Structure 1
Amino acid sequence: MASFRFIHTADLHLDSPFIGISGLDDSLRSFVQDSTFRALDQLVRLAMDQQVDFIVISGDIYDSSNISLRAQLRFMEALERLGKEGIAVYAIHGNHDPLDSTKLSMTLPSHVHVFGGEPASVTAVRRSDREEVAVITGMSYPTSKVTDNIAIRYPAPTSGLYQIGLLHANVDGDPQHETYGPCSKKDLIHAGFHYWALGHIHSRRTLQESPYIVYPGNIQGRHVRETGPKGCYVVDVDEDFNTKLCFHELDSMRWNVVEAPIDSTQDVDAWRLSLERILTHTARENPEQLSMIRVRITGRSPVHRQLEGGYVLDELLADLRRREAAKGRMSGYRGCVWIESFTLQSGDAIDTERLLQEDSFAGDLLRLARQEQGRLHEPDGVAARSVEPLLEHAEIRSLLDDTSPEEMLDWLRRAEELTLGLLLRDRSQGEGAGA
């Protein structure tokens, strides 16, 4: 068999609305909302530059089952550009864009194959000489709720060609993602394929190398839980089926969480200057992207009391955003840093280690708080019981369902800090009055 090259991509989520990002002016909002389309353009350019033989897309081409006309037209434009270069495309649909999605009916070009709602196989060829090189097997989601193990329904390989399986699934039940198309790594290993081209999980992961079981992640991060570089894999297969993967970045907007400690600062202005140095470093690390960051304020010092009220951070945030927006309009937002939000995880100048050892009400409270932080996911824990009455309200329940474990832990830490601050200030005032 001849050597060949292909691209494995997934989770394009074209025309994602990016709901919840605040403070954007019209220009920046347009840049953010077009980011998935820019990543698609980068994908097409990469395919041409790397002279790949074909592309496989493992589901969630679109962001919603109510597919926008804009997203369809941009995807069709990308397909046409690939067709002119002789690059074939093999795709499945996932839970976000199942086959029963609402969309305008369009005739796909002949070089594009979209798998139907039952497992099926097609043969891929090298574009230079049309030699058969791979058998590609896949299945699209008929509806958004595919909760059975579809991987075990894939037909066993029958030819001597390289075998690629396209699958949109949650392998081994990742708790951070919905359990669609659930299967085990063992199921995939025993299926007889050389390469499982996975989609659905938005973080880049190689679960296995023999056979390859790979999540490329999504092509553009959409919120602060999708941090770091986003892109796709270029995969080279030689005559002996040896497989080599190379990751390529496609994103123009990159999410990250950065820490801005207050430990070594004694006033807000000193901390502000240290924050600006952190922002400059972030811009230098991502000179080609717009950096969307959440600033996590950590450490302990008297500065915490000045930040705690919120108005200082609100005014600082507005000023930093104003400056970056002006700079971005001149630079196309390359190398700009936009602060999505501040999260206050710092504390007053309290010796918590001493308190943990202290036989006092404050010490007991701190020990209890730390214990409950470790029981965050237990149904009889304080956190679970505290929010239980709120679950009776549909809107609040929906908000809580979207709350990550990290955000819940932040709430507990914040409650701990507020309570200790009030308690210790009261104790200090009481001791002062007694003197």
Structure 2
Amino acid sequence: MVSFRFIHAADLHLDSPFIGISGLDDDLRSFIQESTFRALERLVQLAIGEQVDFIVISGDVYDSSNISLRAQLRFLDSLNRLGQEGIAVYVIHGNHDPLDSTKLSMTLPSHVHVFGAEPAAVTAVRRSDHQEVAVIAGMSYPTSKVTDNIAIRYPAPSPGLYHIGLLHANVDGDPQHETYAPCTKKELVQAGFHYWALGHIHSRRTLQESPYIVYPGNIQGRHVRETGPKGCYVVDVDGSFNTKLSFHELDSMRWNIVEAPIDACRDVDEWRRSLESILTETARANADRLSMIRVRITGRSPVHRQLEGGHILDELLTDLRRREAAKGKTCGYLGCVWIESFSLQSGDAIDTERLLAEDSFTGDLLRLVRKEQERIHDPDGVVAKGLEPLMEHAEIRSLLDEMTPEEMLDWVRRAEELTLGLLLRDRSREEGAGR
């Protein structure tokens, strides 16, 4: 056996529309909408620079089953450039771009292999001498809904070569993602492959190292739920099948959640200056990309009451965005920091620990709320029961279904803060009247 190198990428989501981002001018919107294509360009440059023997792409090349011509042509151009360098490409399609997608029929170059609607295997060779190095198995989704376990149908590995399985699936039933092609880690281990190149989950995860079972994540974050560096793995395999992974960033726009506490601030202007220092540091740390951030306002102080109304945050958001938009026109948006939204998770200057220990209606209520926060997704919990009437409305239900546990928890925390404010104000009035 000889050594070889390949790239494992997944979830390119080319031509993602990036809907729902507010306040953008035309130039910034264009920059954002090009970000998936820039990530693809960086992927091609990485493959050439690292002199890889081949690339595997584990599903969702495109963002939608109604595939745009622009996305097809840009992907084809990238494939042709890789072909000029002798780099083969092996592709499966996933739930976003199944084989029955609406698209222009195009003839792909001979160095590109797209797996069909049934599990199959092909042999990959080393680029320099065409020596056989790996057997690659895979299957594309025939339709967008593949709910059976396709991994157990993959061809069994044979001795002699390194075996790679391309699979677009939800392994072990991650509740935050749709359960497509469900399977278990145990089943993948027992299959006898050396490397499972997974797709579908957009966060980078190595589920196991022997054999390797790997999600590289998507190559470009598309919203605030997809935070942190995005990219792909360069995988080196030596003559003894020892495997080494190296992650490479490809994103030109990075999503993050940034905390801006109010605890030490005496007034709004002091907090604003603190926020601007945080934004400056964020820009400095990400000078070669656009930072898209959600500012999470935390802590307790009287400043919360001034921010709670919303108009101060709205005006500040408009001004900060205006400045970044002007800056972006001179620097191409690299090094800019765009605030997607403010998330008010702060509170008034209340001693919650004292209230939790207190034998009173307020203390009882606060203890109940904290208990419900711990079982927020319990179907018998107060939150679930309270939302039941809303779940009867299809549009509202679809919005609630898309909420993350953290976003749902934010709702409960906000309700806690509003209720505490009302109760304590009423109690202060009663105590004042009693004096």
**Paired residues, what number?**
435
- Runs of 4+ in structure 1 off by over 4 angstroms are none
CA RMSD of aligned residues (A): 0.8
Q: How far did residue 281 of structure 1 move?
A: 1.3
Structure 2, unmatched stretches of 5+, are none
Letter in 1 for 2:349: A
| Partner residue in 1 for 2:22 | 22
**Paired residue secondary structure (1:79):** helix
**Paired residue secondary structure (1:164):** strand
User: What does the per-residue CA deviation read over 1:155-185, in whole Å, with 9 as the maximum and x for residues that have no partner?
Assistant: 1112411111101111111111111111111
Letter in 2 for 1:235: V
User: What does the per-residue CA deviation read over 1:17-46, in whole Å, with 9 as the maximum and x for residues that have no partner?
Assistant: 111111111111111111000000000000
Please give the alpha-carbon distance, in whole angstroms, between the structure 1 residues aligned to 2:315 and 2:349.
24
Letter in 1 for 2:83: G
Please give the alpha-carbon distance, in whole angstroms, between the structure 2 residues aligned to 1:382 and 1:176.
21
| Partner residue in 2 for 1:88 | 88
Letter in 2 for 1:213: I
User: What does the per-residue CA deviation read over 1:289-320, in whole Å, with 9 as the maximum and x for residues that have no partner?
Assistant: 11111111000000000000000000000011
Q: Do residues 218 (structure 1) and 205 (structure 2) align?
A: no
Compare 299-308 and 424-433 and name the one that shifted more: 424-433
| Partner residue in 2 for 1:75 | 75
| Partner residue in 1 for 2:273 | 273
User: What does the per-residue CA deviation read over 1:74-113, in whole Å, with 9 as the maximum and x for residues that have no partner?
Assistant: 1001101111111100000001101111111000010000
**Paired residue secondary structure (1:274):** helix
| Partner residue in 1 for 2:316 | 316
If the length of structure 1 is used for normalisation, what is the TM-score? 0.99
| Partner residue in 1 for 2:328 | 328
Q: Do residues 144 (structure 1) and 144 (structure 2) align?
A: yes
| Partner residue in 2 for 1:208 | 208
Q: Do residues 100 (structure 1) and 100 (structure 2) align?
A: yes
Please give the alpha-carbon distance, in whole angstroms, between the structure 2 residues aligned to 1:131 and 1:386.
63
| Partner residue in 2 for 1:50 | 50
Map 1:236-385 to 2 at 5 A: 236-385=236-385
Letter in 2 for 1:23: G
Q: How far did residue 434 of structure 1 move?
A: 3.1
Map 1:24-39 to 2 at 5 A: 24-39=24-39
Q: Do residues 232 (structure 1) and 232 (structure 2) align?
A: yes
User: What does the per-residue CA deviation read over 1:345-398, in whole Å, with 9 as the maximum and x for residues that have no partner?
Assistant: 000000000111111221111111111111211112111111110111111111
| Partner residue in 1 for 2:391 | 391
Please give the alpha-carbon distance, in whole angstroms, between the structure 2 residues aligned to 1:340 and 1:297.
13
| Partner residue in 2 for 1:126 | 126
Structure 1, unmatched stretches of 5+, are none
**Paired residue secondary structure (1:343):** strand
Please give the alpha-carbon distance, in whole angstroms, between the structure 2 residues aligned to 1:36 and 1:252.
9
Letter in 2 for 1:149: N
Letter in 1 for 2:136: I
**Paired residue secondary structure (2:89):** strand
Please give the alpha-carbon distance, in whole angstroms, between the structure 2 residues aligned to 1:425 and 1:212.
58
**Paired residue secondary structure (1:397):** helix
